[in-house]
A and B are shown apart, each in its own frame.
Chain A
């Protein structure tokens, strides 16, 4: 059951991620990215990260992607032109990427002990209660720093998106 769920949602995530890269229209990429984020939320649930799964759907699939789609609509972004592609990139791009993937997969195998198995309910520490407790005790300073960061981001976004640029 766990294996089937993992395979289904890993396949959805991979297909959607490939679609993000190969689609020429930004709105298709954005919709595919929502697919990636949704299936990652299911995988988080499988790993016992309940709070994070909810936050993934609300923050990423909800807020961030709405912002993206809004900007795509606002700027009326169309298909991107494929002219003027670099010859070196066409020649070396895919091999170099496969090498990068191979390197990352090699380190993933090194880091994960082969006997480590994941099953649903194997880790129950990811509840909102546990996450909130850690957030307001161990991680209090990063939490406060984050609130300042968000404030700066809000001010920055407002200043950048003003109508008159001085």
Chain B
């Protein structure tokens, strides 16, 4: 049975993280920016689980729990972040982050 090198999972995680950074930096729509953050969190979770596989044995489930806590924090962050987006849209009438710059001047 063909096996997969563990480093490939980390490579995939790195690629997903880099794509998340790209989306975070290049996109204008505040919702897409927020989705890029979720993409980065997912990439980090994948590397947590891959490392947990490498250090299997007693306590090998710790990596899963870190990933689980990341998931919980991401859910809380999504709730608060989307509420903030709603408020920004209500007050500004735009979702473009370049137009939300009142702290600049």
- The chain A residues found within 8 Å of chain B, CB to CB, are 1-4, 6, 10, 13-14, 17-18, 20-21, 26, 29-30, 33, 36-37, 40, 43-44, 46-49, 51-52, 55-56, 59-60, 63-64, 67-68, 71-72, 74-75, 77, 80-81, 84, 89, 93, 97, 100-101, 104-105, 107-109, 111-114, 116-119, 122-123, 125-126, 130-131, 134-135, 138-139, 142, 146, 149-150, 152-154, 156-158, 160-161, 165
Q: In the complex the two chains form, is B10's CB within 8 Å of A108's CB? A: yes
1/0 per residue, CB under 8 A from A, across B61-101: the answer is 11011011101111111111011111101110001101000
Q: Known contacts A3-B3, A116-B5: does B31 contact A105 (CB below 8 Å)?
A: no
Known: A40-B45, A67-B78. 6 other contacts (CB 8 A): A36-B39, A49-B64, A60-B71, A77-B31, A107-B14, A146-B73
A117 touches which one: B4, B68, B84, B96 (CB < 8 A)?
Answer: B4
A160 to B72, CA, bound (A): 20
Check B14–A68 contact: CB distance below 8 A.
no
Instruction: Tell me how many residue pairs across A and B have CB atoms closer than 8 Å.
Output: 253
Chain A residues near B84 (CB-CB < 8 A): 160
Residues of B within 8 A of A125 (CB): 56, 60-61
